[in-house]
Structure 1
Amino acid sequence: MDIEWLKDFEALVAQKNFSRAAEERNVSQPAFSRRIRALEEGVGVKLINRQTLPLSLTPAGDVFLSQSRIMLRTYYETIDRCQIVSAAGENVIRFATSQSLYMTHYKTHIAPLVQQGGLDLDLNSTSWDADQFVSALQQRYCDVILTYWHPSMDFLAPLELGKCEYLTLSKDDFVLVSKAVNGVPVHEFDKANKKPASLLSYGVASALHAVVDHMLRKTSDSGKMLTVNRSALAISVKAMIMEGFGMGWLPRELCKDELSDGRMMILGDDSHIAHLEVRLYRDKENNKPTLRSLWNNMQALTQDGLS
């Protein structure tokens, strides 16, 4: 399937007219019509209902439109990434991390290396789905990723089974918290004869989704909580907690200021705490000299921290 056909299809959907779409695509109308027919033949179904004015999509065309947009977005993102990698060259290390780690552990462990040069952060990565970090590292879209790790995070398993290695830079606790007013939590789950407490959780795109599910299976208090919202980002869960919409699990480092000044309180006991590692992963077969140097420096720092 020619990528230009997808662009033609998008133009026709927008213009709802063959002549205007052909003009937008800078081709003659007969040539444009042939390309649309070739697309339909390639898919094997009619995508355009030519009996309506203006033109409309068939039910199959509606389905194809959403997938076409995904394919085009992937195509453009791939070109961008290839150009970025090419422009970066061998001396720049492409670095990816989530928003919560960028706002906390990144500043402590990685930012000083950026200042020394040779390290380039992909800010797009702060909104990636969890499994995108794995595929990005495997496909060399980036050279290193900084991520939380917990035994429940199955999406990281391909890295550990494959050609990757990691360094544990630090650790963090995943704590159940609520907004607090005058030293009293706004939400609690351990009082008898009350309806389930509102729980703010994580969507499947988040690396922390699996950890919350693990904690809910583990704790006997899970029946006293009702999930009322799921967010992709920890910073979004934190914001909703601070607005008083419910309780939720957060990395302690992300809410340390609020815990320190009493705007948040930790709920439950030790059974409600999950222990996270903050890990740096790389592909062992990536032979960039700058990456080897970075890895050796980080390895020395982690050994010093453990000694």
Structure 2
Amino acid sequence: MDIIWLRDFESLTTHKNFSRAAEERNVSQPAFSRRIRALEDEVGVKLINRQTFPLSLTPAGEVFLSQAKLILRTYSETIERCQTIDAAGENVIRFASSQSLYMTHFRDHIEPLMEAGGLDVDLNSTSWAADQFVSALQQRYCDVILTYWHPAMDFLSPLEVSKCDFLTLSEDQFVPVSKTGPDGAPLFDLRRDTKRQIPLLSYGSASALRSVLDHTLRQQISPPNLLVVNQNALANSVKAMILEGFGLGWLPRKLCEAELAEGRLALAGGDEFVTALSVRLYRETENTKPTLHDFWRKMSASIA
């Protein structure tokens, strides 16, 4: 199956018109139609319902479209990774970091060393799902990952049993916070609102912090009455919604310390709702880049 056929199919489903799709794909309409027919012959079923106006997908076409998009995304990411690895060479250390850690700990601990050269950060990684960091390190797409660590984070388990080293950069806390009202008190408070249902701004399954939140709530003898009103993969997005007053949520304290100091946010629970987080750097021990070895030595010395 030609990858071009998948791009043709995706274009046709967008425009729902053979002429406009052929124009976008920079090919004549007859040639474009032949390629769509060839795709259908390869799959063995009709994907396009040509009897409707505008064109529509058959039930099989709907299923095939979702998989085609996945294939195209995977293909593009693979090409990008290969090109990145080739361009990076032996003298560049590739970092991967979540958005919240990039905005906080990366700039505090890593960025000062970037002036010495040989360091690069993959900003695409700030939107990765949690398990993508592990696979990226294992596949050498990146050389170092910067991540939160807690025993409940099962996605990091492969690194614990493989040939990986880690450094603990710092300690943080996972704390419940809420926007403050005119009186400076939190709008939602786990200590005060024990009977009414409290809106919770939570994390999706792709977030590294979801397992920590679940662990925190499981530790409660009397769990609070929470109603999940939103789930998000990024802590910064959860923070933004908390600041708008949509509910309370848990954040790494480092990420919201400025807002806490300014009084825009307030702690919304006691110590029993606070969970310790570590911030770690991971690398593969078999990665022999000289620059990585030198960086690791300097980082070890700086936190000793």
The TM-score with structure 1 as length reference comes to: 0.91
Equivalent residues in 2 for 1:110-121 (5 A)?
A: 110-121=110-121
Aligned residues: 303
Q: Aligned equivalents of 1:281 and 1:4: distance in 2? A: 38
Other structure's SS at 1:222 match: coil
Equivalent residues in 2 for 1:13-92 (5 A)?
A: 13-18=13-18, 21-22=21-22, 24-27=24-27, 31-92=31-92
| Aligned-partner residue type, residue 205 of structure 2 | V
Q: Aligned equivalents of 1:50 and 1:192: distance in 2? A: 58
| Aligned-partner residue type, residue 230 of structure 1 | Q
**Residue 187 of structure 1, CA deviation:** 0.8
More deviation, 202-211/3-12: 3-12
Unaligned runs of 5+ in 1: none
| Aligned-partner residue type, residue 187 of structure 1 | F
Task: Summarize the Cα distance change of 1:187–1:83 in structure 2 as closer, same or farther, 3 Å threshold.
Answer: same
Other structure's SS at 1:194 match: coil
Task: Summarize the Cα distance change of 1:192–1:2 in structure 2 as closer, same or farther, 3 Å threshold.
Answer: closer
Q: Does the 8 Å CA contact 2:191/2:270 hold for their aligned counterparts?
A: no
Q: Aligned equivalents of 1:53 and 1:192: distance in 2? A: 55
**Residue 143 of structure 1, CA deviation:** 0.9
**Residue 80 of structure 1, CA deviation:** 2.1
Q: Aligned equivalents of 2:92 and 2:259: distance in 1? A: 37
**Residue 199 of structure 1, CA deviation:** 1.5
Q: What's 2:250 paired with?
A: 249
**Residue deviations 1:62-102, cap 9 Å, x none?**
12112212221222222222222212211111111011111
Equivalent residues in 2 for 1:157-236 (5 A)?
A: 157-181=157-181, 182-191=183-192, 194-236=195-237
Q: What's 1:277 paired with?
A: 278
| Aligned-partner residue type, residue 101 of structure 1 | L
Task: Summarize the Cα distance change of 1:197–1:80 in structure 2 as closer, same or farther, 3 Å threshold.
Answer: same
| Aligned-partner residue type, residue 122 of structure 1 | D
Q: Aligned equivalents of 1:221 and 1:259: distance in 2? A: 27
Q: Does the 8 Å CA contact 1:201/1:237 hold for their aligned counterparts?
A: yes
Other structure's SS at 1:171 match: strand
Q: What's 2:156 paired with?
A: 156
Q: Aligned equivalents of 2:71 and 2:301: distance in 1? A: 43
Q: Aligned equivalents of 1:135 and 1:86: distance in 2? A: 18
**Residue deviations 1:161-188, cap 9 Å, x none?**
2222211111101111222243422112
Other structure's SS at 1:268 match: coil
Task: Summarize the Cα distance change of 1:51–1:252 in structure 2 as closer, same or farther, 3 Å threshold.
Answer: same
Q: Aligned equivalents of 1:65 and 1:226: distance in 2? A: 35
Other structure's SS at 2:159 match: helix
Q: Aligned equivalents of 2:96 and 2:229: distance in 1? A: 30
**Residue deviations 1:107-153, cap 9 Å, x none?**
11100111211001111111111111111111111111100011111
Other structure's SS at 2:287 match: coil
Unaligned runs of 5+ in 2: none
Q: Aligned equivalents of 1:163 and 1:41: distance in 2? A: 47
Q: Aligned equivalents of 1:236 and 1:221: distance in 2? A: 28
Other structure's SS at 2:115 match: helix
Q: Aligned equivalents of 1:83 and 1:247: distance in 2? A: 42
The TM-score with structure 2 as length reference comes to: 0.92
| Aligned-partner residue type, residue 195 of structure 2 | K
Q: Does the 8 Å CA contact 2:173/2:275 hold for their aligned counterparts?
A: yes
**Residue 105 of structure 1, CA deviation:** 0.8
Q: What's 2:93 paired with?
A: 93
Q: Does the 8 Å CA contact 2:190/2:224 hold for their aligned counterparts?
A: no
Task: Summarize the Cα distance change of 1:227–1:86 in structure 2 as closer, same or farther, 3 Å threshold.
Answer: same
Q: What's 1:265 paired with?
A: 266
Q: Does the 8 Å CA contact 1:189/1:196 hold for their aligned counterparts?
A: no
Q: Aligned equivalents of 1:295 and 1:136: distance in 2? A: 19
1:298 aligns with 2:299: yes
Q: Does the 8 Å CA contact 2:202/2:238 hold for their aligned counterparts?
A: yes
**Residue 15 of structure 1, CA deviation:** 4.2
| Aligned-partner residue type, residue 165 of structure 1 | D
**Residue 278 of structure 1, CA deviation:** 0.3
